[in-house]
Structure formats: structure tokens, C-alpha cells
């Protein structure tokens, strides 16, 4: 998805989420693609719209990897982040679990088939050789890798970008299957936040829980609160003045200006529909 007015909001997940239109929050593959030309994004870690739900089926630990429509943290941001900070896991209602499981957009993966590495009790990882992924990735591994780093030509270009700057191997972190079996009942599930690391590490974490830290960010377009409508109209009318507009142009950065323009455009478009 290509959007105008994309901004990076850094801070605790619950706070940054409230500032952005949820439908515009970027996926890991979108940020990775933008990093090819936007060097500023390489220095920042991001929470992403990708959704990660774990459950046990016939004693197999299974990852349901989905999109923003199945992101249960976004659906219940206050409760989900509260549980993640307190216990490390978000336990969603059973009705929400079933919605994720049944969604056609969800990628279902038995963790056993990912060929995971690492000895940590909580997480393990799928390792991707950025210059030799065709020969090293199996079908199910490639399916997850492309959901994270882009499909087709974008996947090739993104792997090349990493290889060109010396990132020989990148990793996708998931929960350790034993951890999943230990912490989930047969009919339950746990949800974790998804995170794309800084460029030097270029790792993706489908098991993030430290959503209260201020160093990560969300990338998307600012939302418009209903109560701010009159203020937006006033600002828009004020900027019609050549003197005020000239002064504002001196103060705004290109990114802020683009964000303001997009907010006004979205508001006026919505107003015309009403």
C-alpha cells in the first residue's frame, strides 16, 4: 500500500496507536521496501501491523500469522498491551481466536516445519541467508519470509539490499514450540506483538512483548479525532492566507507538511461523503 503523509510515531505502543489511523499502520514488508530509499527508517525499530497468534493443535505448536484485520492487539489495544507488559502474553477471547483461525488471509504454520534454531526457552528463529535464500529456504519457510520481507521482486530486492550492506543473515523470531505448549491450553491461544528491528540487525520478531518501551515506533498516517474537526477547518482556512502559509512553510519539515496535507485531504473527503 502506497500512502501519502506517512509519519513515524515513536513511543509505547498503546500511545502511538491512538495517534494513527489503524488502517494505515505499516507491515514489516512495507517498511523494509521503503528502507531501500529512506535511510532514516533504517535506524528505527518498528512495531508492525502483522499479527501473530499461537495455539496448540494435536500437540503441535502452531503460528497463525495474519494482517491488520486479524491483529487482536490492535482490536483491544488497552487490555492487550496491559497484559503483555504484566505477563508477557495477551490471552484473547475465544471468539477472537476463532476469527483469526478462520480468516482466509491468515498463514497457518506448524513451528516444527520452520527448522528453527536457538536454545532460548522462550523463542527460537528462522535464519535466512540473504544471498542464498533460493537454495536454503523450504516452501513453508519461504511463505513466512515473504510475508515479512515482501513477495516476488520485492523479496529479491529487499534481500539484495541487506546483502549489499553486509547483513549476511537475517532472522525471523517466533516463540519456542515448547514455550507455546507450556503456556497454552488446548482451546486457548496467546498473542504477541510483531516488531521489525533496526537495520543493522534487520530481524523480525513475531513474539514481541515489551510494548511499553519508548524506543520503538509505529509508521502510518495520523488519524482525525471527531472532536478536532472544527480545529482542522480553522487551520485549513487560516492557511489560505498567503502570509500565514508562507510562515508555516518555513516551519514545517517535508514529512510534517505531507502529514498535514494528508490529514486535511482525508478530512475533507470524509466530510463530502456525509
**Residue 113: Cβ within 10 Å count:** 13
Beta strands in the chain (DSSP E): 7-10, 46-47, 51-57, 60-66, 107-110, 123-129, 169-175, 190-196, 204-208, 217-220
**Domain range enclosing 195:** 7-220
Shared domain check, 257 and 143: no
Shared domain check, 78 and 56: yes
Shared domain check, 117 and 24: yes
The answer to whether residue 83 is domain-embedded is yes
The answer to whether residue 71 is domain-embedded is yes
Joined together, the cell numbers standing for residue 199 give: 537495520
Task: Taking the CA atoms of 119, 120, 124 and 128 in sequence, report the sign of the dihedral they define.
Answer: negative
The answer to whether residue 244 is domain-embedded is yes
Shared domain check, 21 and 115: yes
Triad 160, 137, 60: Cα angle to 5°: 135
Out of 204, 220, 236, pick the residue that ends a domain.
220
Out of 182, 197, 220, pick the residue that ends a domain.
220
- For the cut 50, the answer to whether the pLDDT of residue 51 exceeds it is yes
The arithmetic mean of pLDDT across residues 148-160, rounded, is: 95
| pTM of the predicted structure, to 2 decimals | 0.82
Give the C-alpha separation, 265 to 209, whole Å.
Answer: 35
Question: Mind listing the pLDDT tens digit for each residue in 122-150?
Answer: 999 999 999 998 788 999 999 999 999 99
Shared domain check, 263 and 183: no
The answer to whether residue 115 is domain-embedded is yes
Shared domain check, 235 and 138: no
Shared domain check, 87 and 23: yes
Nearest to 87 by CA among 210, 255, 177: 210
Task: Taking the CA atoms of 262, 266, 47 and 106 in sequence, report the sign of the dihedral they define.
Answer: negative
- For the cut 60, the answer to whether the pLDDT of residue 233 exceeds it is no
Shared domain check, 209 and 236: no
Shared domain check, 109 and 36: yes
The answer to whether residue 1 is domain-embedded is no
Confidence band (pLDDT; 50, 70, 90) for 245?
Answer: low
Long-range contacts of 59-62 (CB under 8 A, 24+ apart): 59/181, 60/110, 60/111, 60/112, 60/177, 61/110, 61/111, 61/112, 61/175, 61/177, 61/178, 61/180, 61/181, 62/108, 62/109, 62/110, 62/111
pLDDT of residue 133: 85
**Burial level of 104, CB count in 10 A (0-12/13-18/19+)?**
exposed
Shared domain check, 206 and 125: yes
Out of 181, 201, 220, pick the residue that ends a domain.
220
Nearest to 212 by CA among 83, 23, 72, 66: 83
The tally of domains found in the chain comes to 2
Confidence band (pLDDT; 50, 70, 90) for 3?
Answer: low
207 secondary structure, DSSP code: E
The arithmetic mean of pLDDT across residues 54-67, rounded, is: 96
Shared domain check, 126 and 246: no
Shared domain check, 93 and 186: yes
pLDDT of residue 259: 62
The answer to whether residue 181 is domain-embedded is yes
The answer to whether residue 57 is domain-embedded is yes
The answer to whether residue 2 is domain-embedded is no
Amino acid at each position: 500500500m502506497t500512502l501519502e503523509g506517512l509519519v513515524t510515531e515513536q513511543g509505547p505502543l498503546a500511545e502511538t496507536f491512538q495517534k494513527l489511523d489503524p488502517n494505515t499502520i505499516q507491515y514489516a514488508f512495507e517498511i523494509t521496501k521503503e528502507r531501500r530509499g529512506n535511510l532514516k527508517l533504517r535506524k528505527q525499530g518498528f512495531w508492525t501491523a502483522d499479527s501473530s497468534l499461537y495455539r496448540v493443535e494435536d500437540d503441535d505448536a502452531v503460528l497463525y500469522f495474519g494482517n491488520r484485520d486479524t491483529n487482536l492487539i490492535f482490536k483491544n489495544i488497552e487490555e492487550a498491551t496491559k497484559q503483555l507488559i504484566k505477563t508477557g502474553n495477551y490471552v484473547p477471547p475465544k471468539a477472537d481466536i476463532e476469527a483469526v483461525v478462520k480468516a482466509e488471509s491468515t498463514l497457518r504454520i506448524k513451528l516444527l516445519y520452520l527448522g528453527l534454531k536457538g536454545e532460548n526457552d522462550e523463542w527460537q528463529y528462522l535464519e535466512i541467508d540473504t544471498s542464498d535464500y533460493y537454495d536454503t529456504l523450504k516452501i513453508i519457510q519461504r511463505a513466512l519470509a515473504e510475508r515479512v520481507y515482501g513477495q516476488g521482486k520485492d523479496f529479491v530486492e529487499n534481500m539484495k539490499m541487506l546483502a549489499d550492506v553486509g547483513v549476511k543473515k537475517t532472522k525471523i523470531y517466533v516463540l519456542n514450540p515448547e514455550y507455546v505448549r507450556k503456556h497454552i491450553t488446548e482451546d486457548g491461544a496467546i498473542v504477541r506483538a510483531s516488531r521489525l528491528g533496526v537495520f543493522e540487525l534487520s530481524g523480525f520478531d513475531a513474539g514481541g512483548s515489551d510494548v511499553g518501551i519508548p524506543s520503538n515506533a509505529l509508521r502510518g498516517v495520523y488519524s482525525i479525532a471527531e472532536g478536532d474537526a472544527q480545529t482542522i477547518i480553522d487551520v485549513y482556512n487560516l492557511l489560505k492566507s498567503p502570509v500565514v502559509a508562507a510562515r508555516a512553510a518555513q516551519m514545517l519539515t517535508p514529512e510534517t507538511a505531507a502529514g498535514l496535507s494528508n490529514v486535511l485531504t482525508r478530512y475533507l473527503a470524509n466530510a463530502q461523503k456525509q
